Structure 1
Amino acid sequence: MTSTLLRAAAPALAAAGIALAATPSLADAVADFYGGKTVTIVVAAGPGGGHSVYSQLIAPAVQKHLPGNPKLIIQNMGGAGGTKAANYLATAAAQDGSYIGILLSDTPLSARIRATGIKYDPSKFQYLGGADITRSAFVVLKSAGVNTIEDAKKKEVLVGSTGKSSQTFVVPTIVNAVLGTKFKPVLGYRGMGDIYLAVDRKEVQGFANVWSAVTYLRENWVKDDLVTVIATISPDPLPDLPKVPKITDMVKDPLDRKLIELIAGNGVLGRGWLAPPGAPKDRVGALRTAFAAAFRDPEANAAAGARKLPWETASWQDMQAQVDTIMKTDRAVIDRMKSILGAK
């Protein structure tokens, strides 16, 4: 009788993210599936960026805490500003729990502002939780001679971009429109790793993206005082640079302010993983429990500390709430954004 009730309750428990491993019959089914299998983490960026670093670090801890202890491997899939990986997870990847992904923070918003090329519904992805809440900023080489947003209104700044759906394009383009800056996105880079190399080679002069990633992927830029953080696109200050001005404080028009605030809130999605729409609920519940345990895991935390990785975790509910906010945002805000970006 008890096992029958547990089986009947399984979908509701999994949907709530409750640890299915606590009930033997459900845990056995999940363990039977994952035992001896490989779980692929699809990373919506090329190698060498923050998404790859965090995925490589969290994989052993997730393996430890997921029933069946499957091996986790990484498949980098940069392209189209994150849309390529999102489309793949929604339409082509196995929907059985053996594929999960980490997308760009702007990917859910892209589904509302673009129709062309979008084959996913962000509300259908099943969010698993995140290792950090990212805070993005405009990072510019000091040699560019642009130290403030006011400087960027007077002088063109070449910024690297991974595609028109990514924040590396969306943020500078929107800030140009609402503040009159002269950031010029340079498209064609496969991921932030390529953009960092482009900055090293001075093909571009900076970018708009996660500031904390610079501190562990390009420590020499900070140590040698090579870059300036001229503004942050975050609802709160940068923890290590609290005096850097916020774009949200500079925008006066009410509609444009709502637009900027919407973008700034996407940091909760910045280092978060998800399962495809069709993944079974019991396996999603087990994945959510495993990720939550991995975020608390002493070895994972020690490894993050050793690499100086920020570790401000987000629950799957936090991620889902932000996606819900995006999907319910007023049409006027979305139309304003589409107009600025020329989105179709």
Structure 2
Amino acid sequence: MNHFKKWIASALSFAVLGSSVFAQSEELESFYGGETVTVLIGHPPGGTFNLYAQLAAAHLGDHIPGNPEVIVQHMPGGGGSLAAAFFSNKAPTDGTMIAILPETLAIKQVMDPEGSLWDMNRMRYIGRFTDVTSVMGVRQGAPATTIEGLRDVGGNFACSGTTTGSAQTGALAHYFAGFNLNMVCGYDTATAGVLAVLRGEADLTSTIWTNWNATQREQLDSGAIIPVVQFGLKPIEAIADVPLAMDLVDDPEARAAFRLFAASGEVGRALLASPDMEGAKYQMFVDAFASMIEDPTFIADAEASRVPLNIALADELEEIKALILATPDEQTEILKVALDEGFK
């Protein structure tokens, strides 16, 4: 009799749970049906932020209950800082806005909490389209094209603003790995720095591998551009023989600084949920992203558009974010000094 009662109780609990899930699904479908979901980015049209935002706009709505329209909103300014501040403080919290924001937000927050007008503790990742590991490339014919040569002879390193990840790779290599670099900053974008190298105006620069691979494939294949260092936590498969920056140094503090810097690249081009979005809607976006990336239409579109994918799901990204936000103050200070001194 007791077994029968337990079976009845279990059956009833499953029935209640199923009813609750169905009701929640109906509620989400009712809310999102006819609604518009906005993907906010802090950069103008063009570039990888827009590339992945448009990919999300084309496909994510098909995996959200009610199939809402998904659009992209551009809010350029401060290298994405303007959009980050808006998203953290003024964005709708009802589940109608998500974002693709700079991968460096968490590390900027721990390094400059007062100057960071956002709180990554209140934002949650939905999923990543690709990592954005920076790779340093040198032109064929430059005074130095090897690690040893860059430490000895060195070269002119083209960079944009000193707060950009591509520029900071040069500063860190200069400070920690002993690269003899003349940091020539002031180019409008990382892409402009790449073009300066191709013209022979500079000797080397860094940009994310996605950019190198998409825009300079011919130069890479011909050897006109030689990748010399990659700034990730693990090697990129296509250039597995190119050393990681952290493997160029023995000092534990230097290795830790390179790991911290590389963690941001692992965040990559990822969708974020707005602060205070209710749990059911956040989980819905997580599930929608996971469903979208398995959709043959999405995969075919990405392949046809030559959009690189290196997917990571919400849990992995949240772990990386937590790791960055928990960085000890002393480690943060070491990185601050390196980024300051490395540009001199």
TM-score by length of 2: 0.84
2:339: which partner in 1?
A: 341
Instruction: State whether residues 155 and 204 of structure 2, in contact with CA within 8 Å, keep that contact through their aligned partners in structure 1.
Output: no
Report % sequence identity: 25
Instruction: State whether residues 176 and 338 of structure 2, in contact with CA within 8 Å, keep that contact through their aligned partners in structure 1.
Output: no
Instruction: State whether residues 233 and 246 of structure 1, in contact with CA within 8 Å, keep that contact through their aligned partners in structure 2.
Output: yes
Aligned pairs (5 A) from 1:1-344: 23-142=21-140, 144-153=142-151, 154-162=153-161, 164=163, 166-181=164-179, 182=181, 184=183, 186-187=185-186, 189=188, 192=190, 206-223=204-221, 225-342=223-340
Deviations 1:37-58 (A, max 9, x none): 2222122333322222222223
Deviations 1:51-104 (A, max 9, x none): 222222232221100112122222233433332222121012222222111122
User: Aligned residue pairs: how many?
Assistant: 328
* Aligned-partner Cα distance in 1 for 2:142–2:42: 30
Which amino acid is 1:255 matched to? E
TM superposition shift of 1:197: 5.7
TM superposition shift of 1:2: 7.7
Instruction: State whether residues 36 and 71 of structure 2, in contact with CA within 8 Å, keep that contact through their aligned partners in structure 1.
Output: yes
Q: Kindly tell me: are residues 112 and 294 of structure 1, through their superposed partners in 2, closer, same or farther at Cα, counting changes over 3 Å?
A: same
TM superposition shift of 1:293: 0.7
Instruction: State whether residues 286 and 314 of structure 2, in contact with CA within 8 Å, keep that contact through their aligned partners in structure 1.
Output: yes
Which amino acid is 2:268 matched to? G
* Aligned-partner Cα distance in 2 for 1:283–1:194: 40
Deviations 1:114-158 (A, max 9, x none): 135311111211110112233321123335444223333333323
Deviations 1:313-336 (A, max 9, x none): 101011100011011122221111
* Aligned-partner Cα distance in 2 for 1:7–1:331: 47
The alignment yields a C-alpha RMSD, in angstroms, of 2.9
Which amino acid is 2:43 matched to? A
Instruction: State whether residues 173 and 183 of structure 1, in contact with CA within 8 Å, keep that contact through their aligned partners in structure 2.
Output: no
Instruction: State whether residues 65 and 294 of structure 1, in contact with CA within 8 Å, keep that contact through their aligned partners in structure 2.
Output: yes
* Aligned-partner Cα distance in 1 for 2:225–2:92: 42
* Aligned-partner Cα distance in 2 for 1:170–1:24: 49
Unpaired stretches in structure 2, ≥5 consecutive residues = 1-11
Instruction: State whether residues 79 and 162 of structure 1, in contact with CA within 8 Å, keep that contact through their aligned partners in structure 2.
Output: no
Instruction: State whether residues 143 and 155 of structure 2, in contact with CA within 8 Å, keep that contact through their aligned partners in structure 1.
Output: no
TM superposition shift of 1:192: 4.8
Q: Kindly tell me: are residues 342 and 192 of structure 1, through their superposed partners in 2, closer, same or farther at Cα, counting changes over 3 Å?
A: closer
Deviations 1:187-215 (A, max 9, x none): 463x5555556666666655323213321
* Aligned-partner Cα distance in 2 for 1:2–1:198: 66
Unpaired stretches in structure 1, ≥5 consecutive residues = 10-22
Deviations 1:160-211 (A, max 9, x none): 23551x312332222221122215152463x555555666666665532321
Which amino acid is 1:137 matched to? V
Which amino acid is 1:105 matched to? E
Q: Kindly tell me: are residues 219 and 128 of structure 1, through their superposed partners in 2, closer, same or farther at Cα, counting changes over 3 Å?
A: same
TM-score by length of 1: 0.84
Greater relative CO (CA pairs within 8 A, separation 6+): 1
Which amino acid is 1:332 matched to? E
Instruction: State whether residues 60 and 288 of structure 2, in contact with CA within 8 Å, keep that contact through their aligned partners in structure 1.
Output: yes
- Secondary structure of the residue aligned to 1:240 is helix
Larger Cα Rg: Structure 1 or Structure 2? 2
